[in-house]
A and B are shown apart, each in its own frame.
Chain A
């Protein structure tokens, strides 16, 4: 009797184990998996699941967009799956592993190649991007295939807190001509005159501004084959940070370390302890609201002192992708097409995700934008002559560059390693991340 029971249990356990491992294998691209759609309406028509990260405002906007689309396209049911940015990726990875990825996926530049280069994203070449501003389409291309449609243009820059500058009795710097050294000078001066901790905050961990720095040195962050820069550029960046720290422009190491884990509402420029801080253009409205005043946008610095040579680019604040295993590829493409090209969608979104890359749509919706968003739109069009070619998306393993850059930099700032050693470790770790 006992023997039979044991045999049964062992057998059942083996079966369960086999089932799970076979399930893992079955989730390779190409095999059928669930489309992950949980319909609100359900019966008969096409069902799509749409996953995105947001906030209460974006959640409401997106639901309104979904409703508008469903009204115009009866027979299509879309169910929204809102989430929160940090935990969104855990969920998406799990769903993808389970073959259950949502049909329409809001995507981020740091993750698009992880999914795109492994065949998890649908080819979106059927989406109409003809009216897109130049340079905004390429961010979504992985290995030549278009897998992400730009959902909002943004660009890396530096916000300035006018009240702090007033307190220091200084004018805003001329951001079209300033060099990195001048940036440090201005930062040091305003920090001491206004009595704030940071002249410029959050510079070291900014992968985008580091990217412009690297490109100004003639290299790239990433190439098709891996890392596009070397220890020398990394060391130059860390040396710049040390210089700024010594000049008391970038705050103490402790302050920099604390700042890195602060949430947006606590950040230095919002609470008034920084004169300037690295941010992305599409965050102007949110950060200004948190700070209680309209912040100003400053271009990043350049080696040569010319804004046209600072090698910035049009980033995508987020993109729309679709699952390669969706059961309704045409419906998913249709929705993405609608969002990218219809003024109706833009009228609801009101640039909350970023400036619409479709120039006609932008022109149509511009009068309805809030003053802050109009400022952002103007900035984006102003820098058109300054942007360089869009770099390729960070390859798999490259999405963590910002955290790795900051982590080794903090060691350098605290004096635990030299800038040369820190740069070496940073490059080594990044290379090993890219390889695995």
Chain B
């Protein structure tokens, strides 16, 4: 025990002497054997199943690959063509809008409902399942057909609006101006997954903190700010990082709702949908691979920014 605390004191003071540096290096590799042993399945998976194909796709991004014939090296050609591809720029605009608007909206929904469904009240399992149901269906063809119908000129949404006296004459799904919003709404509607994760995180916060705070006279809002948020922050961080990563790669909902086309005038042409079109429909897998790696860079930048700022507001128990 004392050795550990000694080392951590050195660490905090920032190692200066070679002796301390050596101790720290040894410390950093203290669990080498155990670490790599626990990590072995993942490492095997990385090497065999993910690593090879990832490197292959990077290689393909420098080729013309029609899937039917062998790849042909073209160097930076694909990347250069991306610069002047209007549909690519459109897909970036669509995807960025979706990420910047959709992710916060969905997460706030998820957290609010999770908090609501965390407190003791009757029928909790039922409500939780009900609020999770949309996520189970969200990417299915059946729901996509219905979602389209709901947002047509004479669909359910407009009918309801008209009952409230709002003159609703436009099509939400057919008008390039509004189509993206129907997909964002679909994304928000399927908030079940982050909600469940928030629930699990809320469950992990010991109740006695709230008890102690109530005894001390703290308001619900203060409890939320001082207890819930900090203790939930690792989970909030997780949801934020992953929802952003997933939102940038959003595919299925846009694919089924627009029937694979990308919506009226490409208004719901998500980046990965366009990537899929280029790769599988137009037999240009090389270009699609280049698009994929550009996306990796974009997502990596956003993730790095997230991690950087996380030091300020994420609070770990260890």
Contact = CB atoms under 8 A, between A and B. Distances in A.
Interface of A: 1-2, 5, 9, 12-13, 16-17, 19-21, 24-29, 86, 89-90, 93-94, 96-97, 114-115, 118-120, 253-258, 260-263, 266, 396-397, 400, 403, 407, 410-411, 414, 416, 433, 436
The dominant DSSP class at the A interface is helix
B262 to A, nearest CB: 8
Contacts of B261: 260-261, 403, 407
A397 B278 CA distance: 10
16 contacts: A1-B32, A16-B48, A17-B56, A20-B56, A24-B56, A24-B71, A86-B260, A89-B280, A93-B68, A115-B68, A120-B68, A253-B174, A254-B174, A257-B171, A261-B259, A407-B266
B47 A13 contact: yes
B170 interface: yes
A11 to B, nearest CB: 10
B268 to A, nearest CB: 10
A342 B84 CA distance: 53
Contact of A12 (B47, B153, B265): B47
Contacts of B134: none
The 8 A-B residue pairs with the shortest CB-CB distance, nearest first, are A16-B52, A257-B174, A254-B171, A28-B70, A17-B55, A258-B174, A20-B56, A97-B67
A29 B67 CA distance: 11
Contacts of A89: 280-281
A176 B53 CA distance: 58
Contacts of A24: 56, 60, 65, 70-71
Interface in B223-256: none
A120 B69 CA distance: 8
Contacts, number: 128
Contact of A255 (B174, B266, B284): B174
B128 interface: no
Given A86-B260, A257-B175, A436-B284, A414 B68 contact: no
Nearest to A120: B68
Nearest to B50: A16
A19 B258 CA distance: 37
Instruction: Determine which residue in B46, B65, B68 has the highest number of CB atoms from chain A within 10 A of its CB, and name it.
Output: B68
Given A24-B56, A258-B173, A96 B67 contact: yes
Interface string B271-288: 000000000111111010
Contacts of B282: 397, 400, 433, 436
Nearest to B262: A407
A96 B153 CA distance: 42
B249 to A, nearest CB: 17
Contacts of A414: 175-176, 265
Nearest to B285: A97
Given A118-B68, A407-B265, A254 B52 contact: no
B153 A258 contact: yes
B174 A114 contact: no
Contacts of B29: 2
A120 B152 CA distance: 42
A268 to B, nearest CB: 12
Interface in B14-37: 29, 32, 36
A321 to B, nearest CB: 13
B264 interface: yes
Contact of A9 (B43, B65, B260): B43
B153 A396 contact: no
Contacts of A118: 66, 68-69
B59 interface: yes
A96 B66 CA distance: 10
Contacts of A28: 69-70
A238 to B, nearest CB: 14
A9 to B, nearest CB: 6
Interface in B280-316: 280-285, 287
Nearest to B276: A90
Interface string B118-158: 00000000000000000000000000010011001100000
A398 B259 CA distance: 19
A17 B67 contact: no
Interface string B47-87: 11001110110011000111111110000000000000000
Given A24-B70, A89-B280, A118-B69, A258 B171 contact: yes
A25 B60 CA distance: 11
Contacts of A86: 259-260
Contacts of A397: 282
B278 to A, nearest CB: 9
A410 B176 contact: yes
Instruction: Determine which residue in B47, B59, B264 has the highest number of CB atoms from chain A within 10 A of its CB, and name it.
Output: B264
A90 B279 CA distance: 9
B153 A436 contact: no
Nearest to A97: B67
A115 to B, nearest CB: 6
A17 B50 CA distance: 10
Given A254-B175, A400-B282, A27 B70 contact: yes
B47 A9 contact: yes
A254 B153 contact: yes
A340 B70 CA distance: 33
B71 to A, nearest CB: 6
Contacts of A13: 46-47, 51-52, 55
Contacts of B153: 254-255, 258
B222 to A, nearest CB: 49
Contacts of A433: 282
Nearest to B43: A9
A89 B264 CA distance: 23
A253 B171 CA distance: 10
A114 B171 contact: no
Nearest to B277: A400
A13 B48 CA distance: 7
A263 B53 contact: no
Contacts of A416: 176, 265
Nearest to B29: A2
B265 A25 contact: no
B56 A21 contact: yes
Contacts of B145: 263, 266
Contacts of A256: 174
Contacts of A16: 47-48, 51-52, 55
A269 to B, nearest CB: 17
B264 A114 contact: no
Nearest to B259: A261
Contacts of A411: 176, 265
A120 B285 CA distance: 17
Contacts of B287: 436
A29 B69 CA distance: 7
